[in-house]
Structure 1
Amino acid sequence: MITTSSTDVEFHCGRTRRAPLTWGQEVIWDLMREQDDARTYAVLTRWMPIPLLLSVGDVLASIGELLRRHEALRTMYHPTAKGDATQEVLGSGALTVEMVDRPADDPTDYTSIITDYLVRASEAGFDHEKELPIRISVILQDGIPILLAFAVSHLSADFVSADLLVADLTAMLQARADGRPPPPARPATQPADLAALEGSPAGQLRNIEAIRFIRGQLDRAHPDMLPARAAPATPRFFRGQLESDAIAVAGGPAARRYRTSPSVLLLSITSALMRCIAPGPVYPIDLMQSNRPTPELAGTVCSLSQSILTVIDVSAGSFADLVRHCSAVVAQARVHGPHRKRAAQDIVDAAGAARGCQFNDIWSQLPGRPRPAATLSELQEMTASSTFYWPEKVADKNKDLFMGIRGTADRVHLTLFADTALLPPGDIRAFLDTFERTAVTLAFADVALDQIAHWFAEGCARYAEFNSGSG
């Protein structure tokens, strides 16, 4: 029979620190206040194997070291009378770690144990005033550690940070298994220090420049950039997801053909498809930025990612021209990405701008890329393993269209969440299919923008039956 117990991991790291929220943390705090399910909003989960022959003590010691290295994991968040919050970094304390022990003869498989934990962790939320923003579960077999899973609040970590925690913990556990001392901590700016930098004169100047950039984008925007194209379905917003090995293989080679980054390449394909549904010559899109331009920020565990409003011109004559334009837009977005969202939102709201679109590419930040297929036909054959499904259908969403690119190095998860008045369900499926077809072809040859539009129109006709909302 599976037994569950708990044990405490203590940490002693020096003085307690207090600071305002960083700009990135403030974005998440405001979203949580606006959501009805604030306690369950924005919980990131991960799991990982534990090297064989490690003791429970080895694992707990590595967890303690993780807490010492990253102040975000030992931070409490306290609301203020004005609706803001402050962060309190604890100098000492303890984290309760769940221990789940499965006997070797128990029929429950580890997949079920991990899945159950991830579901529970995602739904539980955090009481940020009373508990640390991370929960950890160690899964054992007859007392031997086998797997580790954790949930961390989005206030303390973004998606890149969650992956940093996995990498850090993996390296420390492997070092113990090899009989080596743990690797040194990566240079990293701690959240409280970042908050001080953002509040400094240099930080405030950067915020002013970002607001000026956003005003310039709004001057190019107009309320009819994304007009309705169909009667909306019920519920109104559909999320389609295409999972593709082929895009994972094609992304790197296609980007190299155009001498750009995989992320710019993926944004360019998105923009080529937006030409099919936006009357032009521009469309608005919030670009999500990781905001990690320096080695110190690259290793920071904190919620750094923020979106910034941009306007993309889709009047280019060729895909190569569109790539060059998207590259310039992304470069500007990176410069102005870190900013105080509250000030920018007031300007956007005052301008009466449409809800617009958002592009969030997490996949391109993953380490490692598979080698390209030898021929175009081999890459096209890989699309047979692609899968499509509808993960979510809701009555309302804060954007007209959201393009998210996640997954693993070997398999891209391409998500399109859209207002069905803008993209009926069949068109959502056609958009994603055409995205994959375009990416695969671009790995070996150029594609005319009109050809992409033709493929999209073919897909819309093919999947027209989805427009009833039952696809």
Structure 2
Amino acid sequence: MPVHGDLSIVFHGHRGGEAQLTWGQRFIWDIIMRLAPRDEHLNLDVVVPVPEGVDVEGVREALARLIETHESLRTRYAVASDGSPRQILVQSGTLPVELREAAGEPDPSSAAPAGPLVRALTGRRFDLTREPPVRIGVVTREGAPAHVVMAMSHMVADGRGLHVIERDLTALLSGGAGSDGVALSPGRQPLDQAAFELGDEAAARIRTRAVDHWRRSLRRFPPSMFLGTATASARPRFWHGHLTAPALPVAASIVAAAQRATVPSVILTAFCSMLSHRLGSPHLSFVIRTANRFQPGTADAVGHLSQKAPFTIDLSGADFPERVARVHRSAVTAYWNGCYPPQELGDLLADEASRGRHLQLDTTLNVVPGDFAAVPGPSGQPAAYLAELENSSRYRVLDRREDEDVALFVNIEPPDGMSLLADTRYFAPAEIEAALRAIQRIVVKAALGEADPWTGVDEIGLPVRSACEEPERTEAVT
């Protein structure tokens, strides 16, 4: 049935309620508030094709079921009289849907016709205390639904939660008018996560362990890893570049298999090697994003559970296999210590500041959840195959903006993507591309068995900018 006029989604959940923010919600809330009113670049989107034969009623039913199932999609926010943010679960309501007719020739395999609608829905910030955190659109072709577009505030979901939304919407649309028969298994809902964090003994142990780990780790952090390396910035000051790196998962899989490591650990090691070379120091201290999905019911939870944890590493005297082993151990420790009230980290930082140490925590690495599976190349020709893949890498600038609160933010995006958001005082625009290419080159050289694969940084042409201050190291961090 062709779509004419307006469309709206009416939903009826099984409960409403109110609670304090979860630790993960408060983590992303604080980031959004720091960047407001220019935080729209944090918005998320999902684009799902509508299978042939599914009409507007099928789309409406699928979206209503999705919103009813995953409570984060119908959670609003308010600020209490004491200034603390609260989450308010709306039981029933209506969401408008923006319709947009696709232009150009039809291509069922391409989401490109949805691009203009994605940009329209994600390109403006969410006023979280005044509007729902979700905007919905449908791209039509000759009046029939072709793609569903969902734009969301980052409050709704982290990377894993976004994957669950896309997976479940795809399943519901494939069910068509019979979407009531599609089985969904929602994970722990935000209200339940808040209750767990507030009153469960296991949560108290998790919290204490994580805060203690932060306290020990901060003693090894410098104010910034980039002290003394600044040059004049570009305008706008912050640039965000992306490299499609097809050699990365193939080479990382070879190294991981040889060293009994994980692909993310290999890529993280290459990042550390690049950064160590760049700064002229084997000692690194930054933060990594943690998924925080090790508790029962959280694996498929739609919500923002991700936070940050401290990562410290000493690469002194280590060849690449030993670097991988050290990085893996440090990463596992960090991942197990990333679940805590963000306000308590603020207290620790304030305590450090009272001692004259103003820590910026301005460098972050995030491994986006997903599948790094790579298609192996022809046997006996790894060098030629990896060179061919590396030569096919594609770089593009995603964004330039004036307001951010990072020195460096790296996303590792399966299956073969990497992005780097940098303050151009520390990485000039051309050096952003060079840094991403250097990470791939290091992994390729390691896959080919070269003893010092970090020489790939020199081959790419990323210059050294030595920091002027070493961090205090009074004890090992475990």
TM bucket normalised to smaller: 0.7 to 0.9
1:92 maps to 2:92: yes
Matches within 5 A, 1:191-202: 191-202=190-201
Counting matched residue pairs gives 451
Q: Is the 8 A contact 2:101 2:142 kept in 1?
A: yes
2:342 & 2:63 partners in 1: Cα distance? 33
Write the letter of the residue equivalent to 2:94.
Answer: A
For 1:36-435, what aligned pairs fall within 5 Å after superposition?
36-37=36-37, 40=40, 42-101=42-101, 107=104, 113-176=113-176, 182-202=181-201, 203-223=203-223, 225-229=225-229, 231-235=231-235, 236-294=237-295, 296-351=297-352, 352-362=358-368, 365-367=369-371, 369-374=373-378, 375-376=381-382, 377-395=384-402, 397-406=404-413, 409=415, 412-435=416-439
How far apart are the structure 1 equivalents of 2:463 and 2:200? 56
SS of the aligned residue for 1:29 comes to helix
**If the length of structure 2 is used for normalisation, what is the TM-score?**
0.86
Secondary structure at the counterpart of residue 405 of structure 1 = strand
Cα offset, 1:396, TM superposition = 5.7
Q: Measure the CA separation in 1 of the matches of 2:80 and 2:179.
A: 46
Decide whether aligned partners of structure 1 residues 356 and 461 sit closer, same or farther in structure 2, where only a CA change above 3 A counts.
closer
| Contact in 1 for aligned 2:156/2:304 (Cα 8 Å) | yes
**What's the CA shift for 1:221?**
2.6
Distance 1:372 1:164, change over 3 A: same
Spell out, residue by residue over 1:386-422, the C-alpha distance to the aligned partner (whole angstroms, 9 max, x if none): 122333444564232222222x53xx23222334444
| SS of equivalent residue, structure 1 residue 154 | coil
Q: Is structure 2 residue 450 aligned with structure 1 residue 447?
A: yes
* Letter of the 1:265 counterpart: V
CA contact (8 A) 1:78 1:86 kept: yes
Q: Distance in 2 between matches of 1:213 and 1:287?
A: 14
Q: 1:143, 1:86 → 2: CA distance?
A: 40
The separation in 2 between residues aligned to 1:342 and 1:160, in whole angstroms, is 24
Distance in 2 between residues matched to 1:431 and 1:130, nearest whole Å: 41
**222-231 vs 348-357, greater mean Cα deviation:** 222-231
Cα distance between partner residues in 2 of 1:225 and 1:118: 36
**Higher mean C-alpha displacement, 237-246 vs 370-379:** 237-246
> Aligned partners of 1:304 and 1:447: how far apart in 2?
39
Matched position secondary structure for 1:296: coil
Q: Is the 8 A contact 1:214 1:310 kept in 2?
A: no
User: 1:461 Cα deviation (Å)?
Assistant: 6.8
**Cα distance, 1:273 vs structure 2:** 1.3
AA aligned to 1:430 is A
- Mark the CA change 1:113 to 1:3 in structure 2 (over 3 Å): closer, same or farther: farther
Query: 1-side partners of 2:8 and 2:401: how far apart?
Result: 40
The 3-state SS of whatever aligns with 2:18 is strand
What is the Cα deviation at residue 302 of structure 1? 0.3
How far apart are the structure 1 equivalents of 2:133 and 2:462?
48
- Residue 339 of structure 1 and its aligned partner are, at CA, apart by 1.1
**TM-score, normalization by structure 1:** 0.87
Tell me how far 1:281 sits from its aligned partner. 4.1
- Residue by residue over 1:351-373, the C-alpha shift from the partner in whole angstroms, topping out at 9 and shown as x without a partner, is 222444110111xx224623121
Q: Name the CA shift for 1:226/1:152 in 2 (closer, same or farther; >3 Å).
A: same
User: Contact between 1:226 and 1:356, CA under 8 Å: does it hold in 2?
Assistant: no
Deviation of 1:228 after TM superposition, in Å, equals: 2.9
The answer to whether the Cα contact below 8 Å between 1:7 and 1:96 also exists between their aligned partners in 2 is yes
| Structure 2 CA distance for aligned equivalents of residues 353 and 268 of structure 1 | 24
Equivalent residues of 2:99, 2:137 under 8 A apart: yes
Aligned to 2:471: none
1:129 CA displacement: 3.3
Tell me how far 1:124 sits from its aligned partner. Answer: 2.6
SS in 1 for 2:298: helix
Unaligned runs of 5+ in 1: 465-471
- The answer for the alignment partner of 1:468 in structure 2 is none
Aligned Cα RMSD in Å? 2.8
Q: Give the share of equivalent positions with the same residue, in percent.
A: 26
Change (3 A) 1:205 1:16: same
